[in-house]
Amino acid sequence: MTLWSGRFDSAPDPAAFDFGISFGFDRLLFEDDVTGSLAWAEALGAAGVLSVGDTRAIVTALKDILAEGLRNPAFVAGPDEDVHSFVERTLVERVGDAGRRLHTGRSRNEQVSLDLRLYLRRRIPALQQAIARLVDACASQAEQAGAALMPSYTHLRKAQPVLVAHFFLSHAAALQRDYARLAAASAEADALPLGSGAIAGTSYPVDTAMLAKTLGFSRVVQNSMDASSDRDFVASFLFATSLAMVHLSRLAEDLILFTGEEHGFFELSDASATGSSMMPQKKNPDPLELVRGKTGRAVGRLTGWLVTMKGLPTGYNKDLQEDKEAVFDAENTLAVSAHAAHAVVSRLSINADRTAQAASGLLLATDVADYLVSRGMPFRRAHEVVGAMVRRLLAERRDFSDLSMAEWREASDMFGEDAPLAATALASVQAKRTPQSTSPDAVQAALGRCRTWISAALPPTQTQK
Ligand code: ARG
């Protein structure tokens, strides 16, 4: 028995019916579906469409059903087509005809949009917390790194020295944007679709402003036809989760490289590494590789969803049912990945000797050029002079710290006694002047701002410091 069997002479073909059912996954919307139906029953009661007695019977039964489903998830099961059919069937079993009146003036088209909006608004904060906990772990690493130096890279070639703290805060900065992007996706879901009916609106005088307020929405959708078609909020959520996964993947890739033998900047804790079944020396970064790998899955969900939406005409189409598995999978992927990344980052130790060692050498060339600029040489000339020095040092397998004063002077008579002092990693970071730079003062201030952000984003019990 379906919600629509009255229209048909025969029962649906079992295979075709099975193909269409969504109860296997949309049962995750159970709580939201009942919440929406409770508000709808009240609204019909207030509009005089339902009698006081029917409204009371429906509300009481729905509250019982909700409590039972929350207490015992196995209760939310049956041969039903979807979660909406399950709730309605259960209600009718308990209150008879009153239950058969609940769907007056309402369509599953708006109901499913409502449920998913409620679901996202309920669940997004947990993802934001997971992101904020990872920001917190990055900030703690930045604190512990103190004045430690490391090379930064462009084109994966050594670029310039930076503070290790600056590296960790660079990841924190991207993650803070992900947090905001999730908030924006939640804000996009923040519109009540009820009152849209199947597509044209409803002919019962329900108070949509009141319904919006009851259900925690700040507004009502603009247009019922758009509401029946619209899943932009799903696309925005999938984009927010995909980009967050891209950032987790970048962090994972950095840490896979930097904890490897060739770099050795950081050490993975034994707790966040795995061994090899054959090679006894191996300490593999499996959790980081999985985070990087699962990013493909998240991006795939976004891509798949955009392709689904692209083919649709205006109005509800059953294709839209595909939105839910995309949302649930993307949500779960980001949640487990952020958790794994947190486990790795919070247990990472810095090998400050190795990072300092790697931050010295020819990556100080820009600082040497800046020295000449400070003595009045045009930058383009200085670039040439230092380029020639680098060419020679490379050929001789030496670096700036090996140059005698005579050799400095030979390269340019603008080099003074203090030239070698400019060519150190510490002098390089200390020379930086802008607020977003790796200058120790700027990084200290950035860490302070990051801590302030974390205290606003995370409940106090969850911070590491
Ligand atoms: N399971 C459907 C979905 O997820 C619910 C809406 C069904 N509406 C309809 N007209 N068949 O989209």
Q: Is 49 helix (H, G, I), strand (E, B) or coil?
A: coil
CB neighbourhood size of 69 (10 A): 22
Residue 154 Cα to ligand 1 middle (Å): 49
- Ligand 1 atom closest to the Cα of residue 84 is 5
pLDDT computed for residue 462 by the predictor:
64
Under the banding of pLDDT at 50, 70 and 90, the label for residue 463 is: low
Q: pLDDT tens, 382-401?
A: 999 999 999 999 999 999 99
Q: What three-state secondary structure class fits 431?
A: coil
Mean pLDDT, range 156-171, rounded to an integer: 97
Ligand 1 atom closest to residue 82's alpha carbon, by position in its atom list:
1
Dmax (CA) for the chain in angstroms is 101
How many whole angstroms from its chain centre is CA 383?
Answer: 41
Of residues 180 and 17, more confidence is placed in 180
DSSP type of residue 11: P
What is the CA(312)–ligand 1 centre distance, in A? Answer: 15
Residue 464 in this model has a pLDDT that exceeds 80: no
Ligand 1 pocket, residue 22 CB under 6 Å: yes
Give the pLDDT score at 82: 97
pLDDT at 460: 76
85 CA distance to ligand 1 centroid (A)?
Answer: 10
Question: Which pLDDT score is estimated for 271?
Answer: 79
Instruction: Flag whether pLDDT at 326 surpasses 70.
Output: yes
Taking CA atoms, 315 is separated from 98, 110, 224, 234, 324, in Å, by 30, 11, 9, 16, 18
Cα separation, 251 vs 259, whole angstroms: 12
Q: What is the mean pLDDT of residues 75-94?
A: 97
Query: DSSP secondary structure string, 268-321?
Result: --GGG-B--SS-TT--B-HHHHHHHHHHHHHHHHHHHHHHHHHTPPSS--GGGG
Q: For the segment 403-431, what is each residue's pLDDT rounded down to a tens digit?
A: 999 999 999 999 999 999 999 999 999 99
> Residue 40: is its pLDDT beyond 90?
yes
Mean pLDDT of the chain: 95
Q: Which helix (H) or strand (E) holds 177?
A: helix 164-189
| pLDDT the model gives residue 229 | 97
Query: Residue 109 C-alpha to ligand 1 middle, in angstroms?
Result: 6
Percent of the chain with pLDDT over 70: 99
- Residue 155 in this model has a pLDDT that exceeds 60: yes
Burial of 422 (0-12, 13-18, 19+ CB in 10 A): buried
Residue 162 beta carbon below 6 angstroms from any ligand 1 atom:
no
Using CA atoms, how far apart are residues 104 and 49, in angstroms rounded to an integer? 8
- Decide whether any atom of ligand 1 lies within 6 Å of the 29 Cβ: no
Probe target for ligand 1 pocket from 318, 320, 323, with the most ligand atoms within 8 Å of CB: 318
**Nearest residue by C-alpha to atom 10 in ligand 1:** 109
The finding on whether 109 has its CB within 6 A of some atom of ligand 1 is yes
List residues with catalytic annotation. 155, 276
Rounded to whole angstroms, the Cα distance separating 199 from 341 reads 44
Ligand 1 pocket test target in 3, 82, 114, 320 with most atoms within 8 Å of CB: 82
**Distance (Å, whole) CA 171 – CA 177:** 10
Given this model, what pLDDT does residue 278 score?
A: 77
Determine the pLDDT at residue 275: 80
Q: Cα 293 to the chain's mean position, in Å?
A: 15
Q: What is the pLDDT of residues 264-280, one digit of tens each?
A: 999 998 877 788 787 77
Provide the pLDDT for residue 279: 79
The model's confidence at residue 459, banded by pLDDT at 50, 70 and 90, is confident
Q: What is the reported pLDDT for 14? A: 80
What pLDDT score was predicted for residue 131?
Answer: 98
Answer whether 254 contacts ligand 1 (Cβ < 6 A): no
Closest-CA residue to 145 (of 351, 336, 300, 285): 351
Ligand 1 lined by 316 (C-beta under 6 Å): yes
Given a cut of 80, is residue 282 above it in pLDDT?
A: no
Q: Which residue has the tokens 């890279």?
A: 153
Its pTM surpasses 0.75: yes
Interatomic CA distance for residues 244 and 337, integer angstroms: 10
Ligand 1 pocket check for 83: Cβ under 6 Å? no
CB 320 near ligand 1, within 6 Å:
yes
Closest residue (by CA) to atom 4 of ligand 1? 321
Q: Please work out whether the CB of residue 112 comes within 6 Å of at least one atom of ligand 1.
A: yes
Confidence of residue 144 (pLDDT cuts 50, 70, 90): very high
> What pLDDT is recorded for position 281?
80
Q: Average pLDDT for residues 293-305, to the nearest whole number?
A: 98
* Atom 11 of ligand 1, nearest CA residue: 318
